[in-house]
Amino acid sequence: MRRLIQLAALAALSLGAAFGPASLTPARADDESLPHVNWSFSGPFGTYDRAALQRGFLVYQQVCSACHSMNYLYYRNLEEIGLTEEQVKAIAASVTVPGGVNDQGQPIERPGLPSDHFKAPFPNEQAARAASNGALPPDQSDLVNAREGGPDYIYAILIGYSDPPPGVKLMPGMSYNKYFPGHQIAMPQPLQDGSVQYTDGTKPTLDQEAKDVVTFLTWAANPEMEERKRDGVRVVLFLLFLTGVVYAVKRRVWVDVH
Ligand code: HEC
């Protein structure tokens, strides 16, 4: 029986360690340790808070998308965060994309469709750098996975702005950020209290906006996470069941020997 309990504990432990982007990424050994947010999606049973996802998309759409692309997402993916087909059509149609050429051979534009990729703010990297003091706003499709610290790190960057401490001189066009490596960041503080208007009555504080957009960015980078966790839980339940069966069989087989 002791082995059984050990096995169960092991299974539970590995489940806890194996799931959730937050738990996958150890905190950085930086001088400023990251704030630790209790995300709805951490842990083996965590799920994305749908309302937070929708608010987070709003923050991305109204603020971040001015500089950051989101190349791997299609507008139709937004149905997965609970938006209706009509809402998605309207969001897609609010941008224009290249639409081939007209009869005179001139390039034309058309409204976006749900089957289009998210429209990027700049046509190419050079244009993005030229608009951003030489720095490149990274694509946000996979940013949460690409940075050590994951969601906690992105959240920390968003709330980590302040005046530089005495004696620290910033290069022109740079801002001070406690959590950015080197502390000088080319992104001006993107979020403040009231940067967006939420339609669900939630108060748009800096902290709320930051948490919501990080939830959205985590989903964008890991849309299959909930399914993966459900599968993981099923596998562990099955293994526990199997352990029980094997244990019962062993007892039956050995019963005459003892
Ligand atoms: C005015 C343009 C602009 C806006 C708006 C903007 N960013 Fe940025 N962002 C940048 C630039 C430029 C960089 C690159 C900074 C650097 O390398 O110093 C950057 C970098 C980042 C980083 C990367 C830090 C790293 O480790 O490389 C994160 C995270 C980020 N932005 C998140 C966001 C989020 C979330 C929003 C929306 C709430 C947003 N940004 C809005 C321009 C912008």
Q: What is the pLDDT of residues 52-67, one digit of tens each?
A: 999 999 999 999 999 9
**pLDDT over 70 at 97, yes or no:** yes
Question: Ligand 1 centre and the CA of 177: distance in Å?
Answer: 12
pLDDT at 222: 94
Fold observed for domain 27-72+132-221 = Cytochrome Bc1 Complex; Chain D, domain 2 (1.10.760)
Q: What is the pLDDT of residues 126-149, one digit of tens each?
A: 999 999 989 999 999 999 999 999
Nearest to 162 by CA among 208, 213, 206, 211: 206
**pLDDT over 50 at 23, yes or no:** no
The pTM of this model reads 0.85
37, 47, 59, 210, 229 from 149: Cα distances, Å:
11, 19, 21, 15, 20
Element containing residue 108 per DSSP (H, E): strand 107-111
Question: Ligand 1 centre and the CA of 158: distance in Å?
Answer: 9
- Report how far residue 1's alpha carbon sits from residue 8's, in angstroms, rounded to the nearest whole number: 11
What are the backbone angles phi and psi of residue 104, rounded to the nearest 5°?
-85, 5
Question: Ligand 1 centre and the CA of 164: distance in Å?
Answer: 18
Question: Ligand 1 centre and the CA of 138: distance in Å?
Answer: 7
CB 239 within 8 A of CB 11: yes
pLDDT at 10: 58
pLDDT at 14: 55
What are the backbone angles phi and psi of residue 240, rounded to the nearest 5°?
-60, -45
Residue nearest to atom 37 of ligand 1 (CA): 64
Residue nearest to atom 15 of ligand 1 (CA): 186
Between 50-62 and 206-221, two packed helices, what is the crossing angle to 10 degrees? 100
Question: Ligand 1 centre and the CA of 202: distance in Å?
Answer: 24
- Report how far residue 20's alpha carbon sits from residue 7's, in angstroms, rounded to the nearest whole number: 22
Q: Where are the domains of the chain?
A: 1-20+225-258, 27-72+132-221, 74-116
Which structure tokens are listed for 232? Answer: 């993981």
Residue nearest to atom 38 of ligand 1 (CA): 64
Q: Which residues line ligand 1 (CB under 6 A)?
A: 59, 63-64, 66-68, 132, 135, 137-138, 143, 147, 154, 157-158, 185-188, 190-191, 213
